[in-house]
Structure 1
Amino acid sequence: MEVSTISFSSPPPRATPADLEAVGLRRLSDNLQRLLDPAFLNCSDAEIALAAARGGGAVGVHRCILAARSAFFLDHLASLPAPAAAGERPRLELADLVPGGRHIGRDALVPVLGYLYTGRLKPPAQDATVCMDDACGHGTCRPAIDFVVESMYAASGFQISELASLFQRRLSDFVCEALDEDVVPIIHVASTCDLQDLLNLCIQRVAVSALDSRYLDKELPADIYNKIKEIRRQPENAIILDPEHDKRVRNILKALDSDDVDLVGLLLKESTVTLDDAFAIHYAAAYCEPKVFAELLKLDSANVNLKNSGGYTPLHIACMRREPDIILSLVERGACVLERTLDGRDALTICKRLTREKDCNRKLDKYEEKSKAYLCIDILEQELKRKSFVLDPISISIEESIATPLLVDNFHMRLINLENRVAFARIFFPSEAKLVMRIAQADSTQEFAGITNFSRLKEVDLNETPTMQNRRLRERLDALTKTGMPCL
């Protein structure tokens, strides 16, 4: 006999008024956050324009929300002139709106504005604070530091004290853990935003670092550099055995500041000081235009792998600057991409840890060229490949290939294909094509004329033997293959 059982389930607990209020506030917060999405730009009644150096563009905002949430915006918006035309939205230039505004990018601005809209600080997109180095833990790499630095400029400028305190604590942690040169942007934000405790911490850290005095003199405000010199007790004066020598070095660097390479040449001839003695290649890699730098390399047989007092080669300095033409000039002169800094970083690691993953992996618009940071990484990777490059050989000798028309045609078709790819790249990606052609030394080889006239494929130049001609074509094929143009 079956026995039926009846189970009684208790009703779900009723939500308390406090729970309902929390759910409602969270939904309201999420909906307000959406207003900062670019898709809602047409719904905004004002714009905050980013500096061109930070990617340009604008973030749509709503004056009523900002004025209600921030005394800074209430005062600023109240002082704006009436729009010239009906429906015209006021445009606030971020570079003029707050101190340090030209350093603030969209990825830092939107979360800070989002805090005013929602009362919550949204975490940044991961690719905005992650560098290109897979071996990095991304806790204190440059993109992570730059994000907090930009956020501090925004929070301090908008007078959001609770956010400024939060970001100041994060920056203080960075000062203790970051690389020496990565403390410099923290010094700038601490000085601009008048964060004395943070500034003093930075000064103490940099004073005991191996950073070159000339670098600090160029990069930091005079008053801050003077404080660092006092703590260091001016060690540079202690090693100056010849004041006249030091004067000549300073004259060379001043000539470089004026981009006067001819004057540098005269100064070198008039004294026994060399470019290596003045660390002039390091200085030019950091501060000179690429054309000036290339001319400087022609003056003297400088050691492009020389390390300065901080353990950096000129290539390391160029990688910190992320200037592809200077990196390429150094590589062409024999700079070793495998040289390491005192803390074990090579040139490629330096470049990757300065570069956001987002900047290299973002989808480009049609015919848009890749960023300088991407090109720097590409040049260094190409150079590493070039050193280990072995072209897949055509499994016949030069004499055999000349005697076998079918294989000659195959060789020529490969060369035509590469020449056409190069021509395409030069049209649509001129900067990148120019750089990879230089690094593969393809410009030193003769362009294959067959790309425009197929009937000329089997023509023989009477001034050279068939073996010489085939060797010339093989050199061109090797050079074009090294460029990686098939991958562009």
Structure 2
Amino acid sequence: MASNLAEPSTSSSCLSNGTSPSSEYHSPTNLEIVSLSKLSSHLERLLLDAADPGFTDADVSVDGCADVGVHRCILAARSRVFRDLFSSSSSSSGASSGGRPRYAAAELLPPGARLGKEAFMVFLGYLYTGKLRQAPPEAATCVDPACAHDACRPAVAFAVEMMYAAHAFDVPELVSLFQRRLLNFVDKTLVEDVIPILLVAFHAKAHQLLNHCVQRIARSNLDNISLEKELPCEVLLEIKSIRHKFQSTDSDVTVIDPIREKRIRRIHGALDSDDVELVKLLLTESDVTLDHATALHYAVAYCDSKIVAEVLELGLANINLKNERGYTPLHVAAMRREPAVIVSLLDKGASASETTTDGQDAVSICRRLTRAKDYYAKPMQGQESSKDRICIDILEREINRIPMACEDSVTSVLLADSLQAKLLYLENRVGFANLLFPAEAKVAMEIAHAEPNSEFANRNRSRSSANLREVDLNETPSVQNKRLRSRVDALTRTVELGRRYFPHCSQVLDRLMSDDTSDLFYLQKGTPDEQTIKRMRFYELKDDVQKAFSKDKAVPGRPSFCSSSSSSSQKGEMKGHRASRK
């Protein structure tokens, strides 16, 4: 009787909690689901707390980032590759700072493959919990406001990294999942972005995905020379075979002259060897020009920035020539995202407003390729800005540039008769720029062929001893004068480039250099009170530069998501400076 009375109370208690007695006691399947869900959430918390080295027993380094703490017992149970890796002490890549075993994920990836920290953390989350989290938006979206982020480069790259991880660590269900996801990208993304998808499909032996990529590229207008740079030999042969079949049935296809193609390849080979003199010789030996060989496009895509500058100095290439894909050299440079190459082209007259056949200009191309994480990340003090971010800012300033009165003129100091006075002013000014925004100053100095300032590189050394060491008794006054004038010319060119691409910052620097601020470079000199005052003044000057960058960006018609090139999150940065002054 008592047992009969007890059951209703239990039932009513269960019903009041929204569950039935059958689900509570007579459904082991549901109980297993609840238990597994709790276990999954507990293991996820363990992963999220992995920053505390007390809970982890090894570190894995990914893509040059800080080490990620892992629990070897969990990973060994979930992946055969991890089990073999952890069981072999010879596979360890040394020890981390805490003395624990340290492993490099790159050693397990195919050559050229990349695995970023964001993708690796999502992959670890799956191994720990059995659940696949969404890609972090900052790592899988670009900074183009018009993009739907369903097939842009960051979205493709994140999925490719996840598939590399799944293949390298032998998790077949994830390989299958991301093969299906990447199949959806192939027809929607730009054909250039199909190449990384093809490469991961090739290494993972995902034949369905590989065949789909081969067909897309074979039907595209990507040139064979570029494909030879990117693709494995067997895949390249298959693409060429498919294209040969198309050409045999298409009467409109232009027949390629083998002799002409050989001469073009020789020009490209000379560029690969960094031999611009050989390029000049090859041009004189045949009727093939730089434009016929699209040599400037090739150099911009594959050569060092100094070689690009040397090719431009020849003055033999059409700076705005479009190749078969409708890309100018500046479009190719935007895809490469190397600031020095972009500045070299703009400096020689490349048009930033030229568009591709699908209506994209250089800055929109660059935005579509840049991850939100790389653009908006705030660099640490003294750390260089992201190259992607600098490229976008340079191209935006060029499109919206309004020539300023100071741009084509020099400061009154430069009109002084004393060569030494000019040199001292320029050295101080460029040195100050180097301290405040090193990445941008480096680009300007590289284009102007200005070597780093020895005074600021050795600013802790006394001037008297430095001058004694730099005296050359064999140097005549005329030779010395020529050397100093060459240095003045290079630094003047650096200042001119800074005024063009960072006009408001240059105005701030002009104003600063008109004051007696040179002593601020020597923050460690003077009494403690003097050092404190100089540090306060130095941070105030940095705030002026931060505001100047925001003025450079505040041009009507610009997207609202843009931020400064050397200081993202200006408000947070300024608050940090004000706090440090306090």
Partner of 1:80: 89
Letter in structure 1 aligned against 2:363: L
Give the deviation of 1:196 after TM superposition.
1.4
Give the deviation of 1:111 after TM superposition.
1.2
1:482 to 1:326, Cα distance in 2 relative to 1, 3 A: farther
Letter in structure 2 aligned against 1:451: M
The 5 A counterparts of 1:101-140 are: 102-140=113-151
In the alignment, structure 1 residue 315 sits paired with structure 2 residue 337? no
Letter in structure 2 aligned against 1:75: D
Partner of 1:161: 172
Q: Residues 223-264 of structure 1: CA distance to partner in whole angstroms, max 9, x if unpaired?
A: 111111111118899645654333322211110010001111
Alignment: residue pair count: 428
Q: 2:219 aligns with which of 196, 208, 212?
A: 208
1:390 to 1:253, Cα distance in 2 relative to 1, 3 A: closer
Measure, in 2, the Cα distance between the counterparts of 1:426 and 1:82.
Answer: 42
Give the deviation of 1:51 after TM superposition.
2.9
Letter in structure 1 aligned against 2:262: K
Give the deviation of 1:443 after TM superposition.
11
Judge which range, 229-238 or 27-36, deviates more. Answer: 229-238
Give the SS at the match of 1:177.
coil
Q: 2:513 aligns with which of 451, 463, 473?
A: 451
Partner of 1:261: 276
Partner of 1:333: 348
Give the SS at the match of 1:60.
strand
1:41 to 1:34, Cα distance in 2 relative to 1, 3 A: farther
Compute the RMSD of aligned alpha carbons.
Answer: 3.5
Measure, in 1, the Cα distance between the counterparts of 2:53 and 2:367.
Answer: 34
CA contact (8 A) 2:441 2:498 kept: no
Partner of 2:79: 70
Measure, in 1, the Cα distance between the counterparts of 2:142 and 2:86.
Answer: 37
Measure, in 2, the Cα distance between the counterparts of 1:222 and 1:234.
Answer: 19
Give the deviation of 1:268 after TM superposition.
1.7
Q: Residues 333-356 of structure 1: CA distance to partner in whole angstroms, max 9, x if unpaired?
A: 111112112222111111011110
In the alignment, structure 1 residue 277 sits paired with structure 2 residue 292? yes
Measure, in 2, the Cα distance between the counterparts of 1:439 and 1:212.
Answer: 37
Measure, in 2, the Cα distance between the counterparts of 1:358 and 1:257.
Answer: 33
Measure, in 1, the Cα distance between the counterparts of 2:143 and 2:385.
Answer: 15
Measure, in 2, the Cα distance between the counterparts of 1:94 and 1:85.
Answer: 14
Q: Residues 143-167 of structure 1: CA distance to partner in whole angstroms, max 9, x if unpaired?
A: 0000000000000111111111000
1:75 to 1:482, Cα distance in 2 relative to 1, 3 A: closer
1:384 to 1:79, Cα distance in 2 relative to 1, 3 A: same
1:321 to 1:79, Cα distance in 2 relative to 1, 3 A: same
Partner of 1:396: none
Q: 1:96 aligns with which of 82, 86, 107?
A: 107
Measure, in 1, the Cα distance between the counterparts of 2:379 and 2:552.
Answer: 19
1:42 to 1:432, Cα distance in 2 relative to 1, 3 A: farther
1:41 to 1:359, Cα distance in 2 relative to 1, 3 A: farther
Partner of 2:448: none
1:369 to 1:485, Cα distance in 2 relative to 1, 3 A: farther
Q: 1:185 aligns with which of 181, 196, 206?
A: 196
Measure, in 1, the Cα distance between the counterparts of 2:175 and 2:187.
Answer: 19
Measure, in 2, the Cα distance between the counterparts of 1:196 and 1:241.
Answer: 32
Give the deviation of 1:82 after TM superposition.
10
CA contact (8 A) 2:397 2:501 kept: no
Measure, in 1, the Cα distance between the counterparts of 2:37 and 2:231.
Answer: 44
CA contact (8 A) 2:319 2:349 kept: yes
Letter in structure 2 aligned against 1:116: L
Partner of 1:357: 372
Q: 2:205 aligns with which of 178, 194, 210?
A: 194
Gaps of 5+ in 2: 1-11, 407-426, 445-494, 517-547, 555-563, 567-582
Q: 2:58 aligns with which of 46, 51, 58?
A: 46
Give the deviation of 1:221 after TM superposition.
1.3
The 5 A counterparts of 1:383-422 are: 383-386=398-401, 389=402, 391=404
Measure, in 2, the Cα distance between the counterparts of 1:123 and 1:138.
Answer: 14
Partner of 1:60: 69
Q: 1:33 aligns with which of 18, 35, 44?
A: 44
Measure, in 2, the Cα distance between the counterparts of 1:88 and 1:425.
Answer: 41
Q: 2:18 aligns with which of 2, 9, 13?
A: 13
Q: Residues 36-65 of structure 1: CA distance to partner in whole angstroms, max 9, x if unpaired?
A: 33523442111111133xxx2221111111
Letter in structure 2 aligned against 1:353: R
Measure, in 1, the Cα distance between the counterparts of 2:37 and 2:320.
Answer: 58
- Identical-residue share of aligned pairs (%): 47
Measure, in 2, the Cα distance between the counterparts of 1:85 and 1:372.
Answer: 31
1:20 to 1:307, Cα distance in 2 relative to 1, 3 A: same
1:89 to 1:236, Cα distance in 2 relative to 1, 3 A: farther
Q: Residues 397-428 of structure 1: CA distance to partner in whole angstroms, max 9, x if unpaired?
A: xxxxxxxxxxxxxxxxxxxxxx9997643213
Judge which range, 294-303 or 269-278, deviates more. Answer: 269-278
1:348 to 1:192, Cα distance in 2 relative to 1, 3 A: same
Give the deviation of 1:75 after TM superposition.
2.5
